[in-house]
Amino acid sequence: MIEVREHEWPSTRAEAVAVQQRLRPLVRFDGQPAEVRTAAGLDVAYDESSDELVAAVAVLDVPALSVVDSATVRGRAEFPYAPGLFAFREAPPLLAALRQLSVVPDVLVCDGQGLAHPRRFGLACHLGVLTDLPAIGVGKTPMGRFDPPGQRRGDRSPIRMDGEEVGSALRTQHGVKPVLVSVGHRCTLDAACGLVLELAPRYRLPETTRTADHLVRTTR
DNA sequence: GCGACAG
DNA sequence: ATCTTGTCGC
């Protein structure tokens, strides 16, 4: 079973920023699994009220990409959405879903950013640190700047923020808009991109997030 | 002051 | 995130 690190959930934005700065040094870049046999996709969907939500985790076998475990949780958003503070809204229900898994995945594939974040501590870093599981972020909307990568599957270009490289714009399919990959915890950028390509043999997004996404919209 | 701003 | 028609392509 997944053990979640002792942590606190702030009620104001200023406190939330302080929590990020406190947890940021705990991000590690070593300790990757020798081989990824299972990968978890995580996603959250909201109802009309925008505070009632469904969180889901789907664990897929790698490289078969078959679903080996999953969990869903219904709940309420306790923190308003704010750019840079995304994790305080989505991490609580996602952690609740992760606790329900009977299979501990080798890596968490998060919907959003990892180090490609204003304080280098996006959702993927947050979930990675709190569970101490390897984690990566796969986003659809850029937070940093990058030159368009080549048009072929596998082509990538560095994402930069404040002059430093924080991730990769990765083309998962020919001529399709790239996804934004960044390290969350216990992993390298190269390994993260390699994994995303392995998880996205046919569509733009990894099968992990596609499965989790399908799960949250059929659970409402 | 103005624009930008993961999901 | 969510609100939504038609359209192009496999």
pLDDT tens, position by position, A158-212: 999 999 999 999 999 998 999 999 999 999 999 999 999 999 999 999 999 999 9
Q: Is the pLDDT of residue A6 over 90?
A: no
Query: Does the nearest atom of strand B lie within 7 Å of A123's Cβ?
Result: yes
Binding residues of A: 43, 111
Å separating the CA of residue A178 from the C1' of nucleotide C9 = 20
Q: How many CB atoms lie within 10 A of CB A190?
A: 11
Query: Does the nearest atom of strand C lie within 7 Å of A111's Cβ?
Result: yes
Say what the pLDDT of residue A171 is: 95
Check: CB of residue A105 under 8 Å from CB of residue A39: yes
Show the domains of chain A with their CATH numbers. Answer: 13-218 (3.30.2170.10)
Query: Does the nearest atom of strand B lie within 7 Å of A49's Cβ?
Result: no
Say what the pLDDT of residue A49 is: 81
Give percent of chain A above pLDDT 90.
91
pLDDT tens, position by position, A36-80: 999 999 999 998 888 899 999 999 999 999 999 999 999 999 999
- List of residues 6+ apart from A50 with CB closer than 8 A: A77
Whether residue A83 is preceded by a cis peptide bond, meaning omega within 30 degrees of 0, is no
Binding residues of A for Mg(2+): 43, 111
